[in-house]
Amino acid sequence: MSAWHGKSRGTPLGYRIFVWVLKTFGILPAYFLLRIVVLYYFCFSFKASRQIYLLYRNKLKYGRFTSLIKLYNNYFLLGQSIIDKVVLMSGIKNKFSFHFDGEENLLKIADMKKGGILLSAHIGNWDVAGHLFTRLQTPINIVLYDAEHENIKKYLDGVTGKRNMNIIVIKDDLSHIYAISDAFAKNELVCMHADRFLPGNKTIRSEFLEQSAKFPLGPFLLAATFKVPVSYVFACKESKLHYHLFASEIKDYSKFGKDEMMNNMLRDYAAEMELKLKRYPEQWFNYFNFWE
């Protein structure tokens, strides 16, 4: 099985070069340089390329040539998402614009003062969504794996500065569960992905693109245990400098038992993911066999 292991690719030198280009010449020249880098991954990252190609060819039913074009664009958009993250979090001058569908839903879940979970996926640019959550004027907790290579992470932290949200790191000692519990006790929002898991983690199954797929159990178990409302959020790129953000209507599953609550939530989450994937097929940055 081609599994995800929670690590980002790249080198500190590569990040330094792109940051220098961004600060000296701007975003569009950095995108131009990115096309050269993308060719390397397109040609030599066989395992990752194979998985995303099979998604386009077998699941979304594109032709061979179209699938290859979308594979290249997928890598290009992934690189853009990293560049955009650095630009927005470091305050580099930019002309990004944003359209927010459902911001009223996030304001509503914040005003409920019951805590809540915002579930997303590796579709689009999560960091852009997180950056704009500051508009909610309520404490935000981001749950993530802290498995980036330490020297790259240290360099990026130096460029972007400290994040303006609380980061809850997933650890083997389960201390993140207590941190999430504390956040809910304070009626705060918790944001997390629900489309990836490390080998050995507990999973739950749902139909996704007409085939049973595994999803991480943790996010759905947390919502069911603490009986907090849920919204599904995504931030997808629609042009070079424009993002479209989505937040679903608030879902309250608390009237159901724990198992039914988790199954209903997973079904709704998978349906939202499928809609976004079909609308933005080049922006699901998934490089392992999701259905195995």
To the nearest whole percent, how much of the chain has pLDDT over 70?
Answer: 87
Mean pLDDT of the chain: 86
Q: State residue 2's pLDDT score.
A: 45
- Residue 120 belongs to a domain: yes
- Residue 3 belongs to a domain: no
Beta bridge partners of 166: 141
Whole-angstrom distance, CA of residue 280 vs CA of residue 176 = 32
| pLDDT tens-digit map of 257-271 | 999 999 999 999 999
- Residue 17 belongs to a domain: yes
Neighbour tally for 201: CB within 10 Å: 12
- Residue 138 belongs to a domain: yes
- Residue 43 belongs to a domain: yes
Estimate the crossing angle of helix 175-185 against helix 218-226, to 10 degrees.
Answer: 40
Residue 153 in this model has a pLDDT that exceeds 50: yes
Residue 148 in this model has a pLDDT that exceeds 60: no
Q: Which of 96, 99, 91 is nearest to 241 (CA)?
A: 96
Whole-angstrom distance, CA of residue 207 vs CA of residue 11 = 37
Residue 51 in this model has a pLDDT that exceeds 80: yes
- Residue 129 belongs to a domain: yes
| pLDDT tens-digit map of 108-133 | 888 888 889 999 999 999 777 766 67
More confident residue, 51 or 1: 51
Q: State residue 6's pLDDT score.
A: 45
Whole-angstrom distance, CA of residue 28 vs CA of residue 86 = 14
| Domain membership of residue 182 as a residue range | 12-283
Alpha-carbon torsion (208, 214, 216, 217), positive or negative: positive
How many domains does the chain divide into?
A: 1
Q: State residue 120's pLDDT score.
A: 93
- Residue 292 belongs to a domain: no
- Residue 199 belongs to a domain: yes
